[in-house]
């Protein structure tokens, strides 16, 4: 367990969190999505609120309920999520916990696609905007602290280090989702915090505890502490 008793508060800070999956329509009744419950992102939003921050949660269609005391903007697709995030700037810090679909269907059908004798349809995919990278490279509206997530099944820290540099964010919370550790959708999370200074291995903990610890680290960073 973490010692966070003396954590500085986030009073007066504006914090943005993305959470949950995105759904990318194929037609009015079908979609492409990532596996994501929204538990970790929603827990971070709740922890930031409990620490006194003004919190904006941009949530995809998550399984968990909206946290209390937080402004929630619901988005379905990656493009809608990006628009909601951009409208919410400026913020002091942003945490990108959403499992954004990397691709969407190039031209989703307005009508339900029917089975025909012609066989199965072919879906053409196009890449979605990278919300984290877009915000991390925003000129004047870039938040002071930009935190990304990386769910990996192997070489967790190496991939996270690359991702931190590629995306231009300050920190990556590298999430070990290999079968022997954090089961996707479960309540326990095993993470490593990758910063410019190096890598911290955090003990396996509940998603609520990981959220509180991350919020405490963010508060210290925003307060200008070396840590």
Burial of 22 (0-12, 13-18, 19+ CB in 10 A): buried
Residue of 32, 62, 96, 170 that binds ligand CTP (CB under 6 A): 96
Q: Does 86 bind ligand CTP (CB under 6 A)?
A: no
- Which residue, 205, 144, 201, 137, is CA-closest to 10? 144
Q: Does 150 bind ligand CTP (CB under 6 A)?
A: yes
Q: State the sign of the Cα–Cα–Cα–Cα dihedral 195, 191, 206, 62.
A: positive
Q: Which residues are annotated as a binding site?
A: 102, 112, 129-132, 149, 163, 167
Q: Which CA distances in Å does 1 have to 10, 190, 209, 210?
A: 21, 13, 8, 10
The DSSP annotation for 115-177 comes to P-TT-PPPPPEEEPP-HHHHHHT-STT--SEEEEEEEESSSHHHHHHHHHHHHT-SEEEEEE-
CB of 138 to ligand CTP, least distance (A): 13
Residue of 128, 177, 202, 209 that binds ligand CTP (CB under 6 A): 128
- Shorter beta-carbon distance to ligand CTP: residue 80 or 113: 80
- Shorter beta-carbon distance to Ca ion: residue 102 or 187: 102
- Shorter beta-carbon distance to ligand CTP: residue 10 or 95: 95
Pairing of strands 191-195, 171-176: antiparallel
34 is catalytic: yes
Q: Does 152 bind Ca ion (CB under 5 A)?
A: no
CB of 171 to ligand CTP, least distance (A): 10
CA 119 – CA 121 distance, rounded (Å): 7
Q: Does 102 bind Ca ion (CB under 5 A)?
A: yes
Residue of 15, 55, 57, 100 that binds ligand CTP (CB under 6 A): 100
Q: Does 67 bind ligand CTP (CB under 6 A)?
A: no
> Which residue among 34, 128, 175, 189 is the active-site one?
34
Cβ atoms of 22 and 226 closer than 8 Å: no
Q: Which residues are annotated as a binding site for CTP?
A: 102, 112, 129-132, 149, 163, 167
Q: Does 75 bind ligand CTP (CB under 6 A)?
A: no
71 CB-near residues (< 8 Å, 6+ apart): 54, 55, 56, 57
Residue of 15, 93, 151, 191 that binds ligand CTP (CB under 6 A): 151
- Chain residues in the site for ligand CTP (CB under 6 A): 18, 78, 96, 98, 100, 102, 128, 130-132, 148-151, 163
Catalytic residues: 34
């Amino acid at each position: 367990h973490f010692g966070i008793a003396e954590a500085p508060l986030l009073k007066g800070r504006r914090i943005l969190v993305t959470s949950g999956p995105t759904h990318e329509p194929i037609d009015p009744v079908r979609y492409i999505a990532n596996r994501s419950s929204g538990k970790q992102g929603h827990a971070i939003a709740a922890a930031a609120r409990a620490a006194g921050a003004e919190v904006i949660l941009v949530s995809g269609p998550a399984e968990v309920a909206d946290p209390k005391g937080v402004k929630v903007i619901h988005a379905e697709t990656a493009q809608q999520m990006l628009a909601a995030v951009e409208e919410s700037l400026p913020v002091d810090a942003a945490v990108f916990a959403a499992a954004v679909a990397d691709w969407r269907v190039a031209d989703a059908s307005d009508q339900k696609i029917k089975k025909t004798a012609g066989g199965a349809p072919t879906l053409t995919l196009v890449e979605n905007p990278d919300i984290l990278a877009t915000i991390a490279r925003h000129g004047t509206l870039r938040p002071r602290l930009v935190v990304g997530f990386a769910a990996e099944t192997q070489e967790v820290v190496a991939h996270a280090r690359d991702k931190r540099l590629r995306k231009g964010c300050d920190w990556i919370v590298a999430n070990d989702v290999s079968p022997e550790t954090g089961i996707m959708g479960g309540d326990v999370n095993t993470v490593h915090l990758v910063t410019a200074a190096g890598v911290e291995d955090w003990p396996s903990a509940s998603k609520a505890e990981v959220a509180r610890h991350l919020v405490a680290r963010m508060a210290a960073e925003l307060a200008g502490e070396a840590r």
